[in-house]
Structure 1
């Protein structure tokens, strides 16, 4: 699904990715974790073509992304911070994104799932952070793409909306989709992920299941396993 070889990226003198190699197989939920500055966002944005690496190759769905942007139409992306035009109404934004993508969209069931009907005629600048995030989730999941990338998807969600999001993610996984998630909420990661990829200083420190990570670190639970990595490496 996603194949990365020898990825290097520097911003000025700051080396963010240092020859990173990664294979993400088709189907399943993969969490990309790591401390601040470990290269998570740069990795995600490199896959999306929003950051151009200094060196290395990235293939998505079997095609090198260097010379084409068409592959992006097969990715649904939820950014950590979505900057929408504040004067648009929610329903206007949904229509605009559908028109831009030019793909069949299933937005009505998602609007019902996240109880957004009362907000459709409201302008985005009047919405709370949590409601904006629910709109963001609708915009991401309304297209039927094989690869979904979610950057901190739980931000601002109330407990019921969080349960609905987790159900939605599992439903998409059951269709054979590949889902990449970044999150600081370890309980969420533990509940939904099939595999984790842990980045440290621009490279992959660990890739595997949470049970394998606990075994490797000799820790009884996921949070202590992560803390053990960070303590051992003095992050």
Structure 2
């Protein structure tokens, strides 16, 4: 029997965490279009800050990429982050018009994701980076594809969901999946990478829950 790809095995090892992430309050309320405007505005502030972290991770991945195709893929992702996503945040935060109230507890919760992501990069190098990025991006793809079935009546939310259901985002998820599946895993290394994916998913849950902290 052919072994499942590494990406599938890492997700299976974190099935309960993954399911919990797909059912977290933020995901449910975006899908139901019941999320409070203030909570979504706080999330936008947090997510805009994390885009900078994701860009730094992509830059680190460019430097450590094992070959030309990998380098090109991460460079493309970096470009998309600092163009399409920057443009989205510039427009939507301008439309909001006011900076939402963000307390210290909320900011601390949101910052956990950056702390975990950068720790993973420092501790595990290229394998950790691609597993962490794959976890985050695949999580978004799954819940946004589901949420897009019933689009929000609020343009900012609908557009955010749509960003994660079309190109270039979909190709980026598949690129990261391929990078994970190409990793050479030493004995015992798979359990380490499963832990990496689990840490990233747990941090994503804390990050999104922070949007509801006043």
Bin for the TM-score computed over the shorter chain: under 0.3
Q: Which has the higher helix share?
A: 2
When normalised by structure 1's length, the TM-score is: 0.23
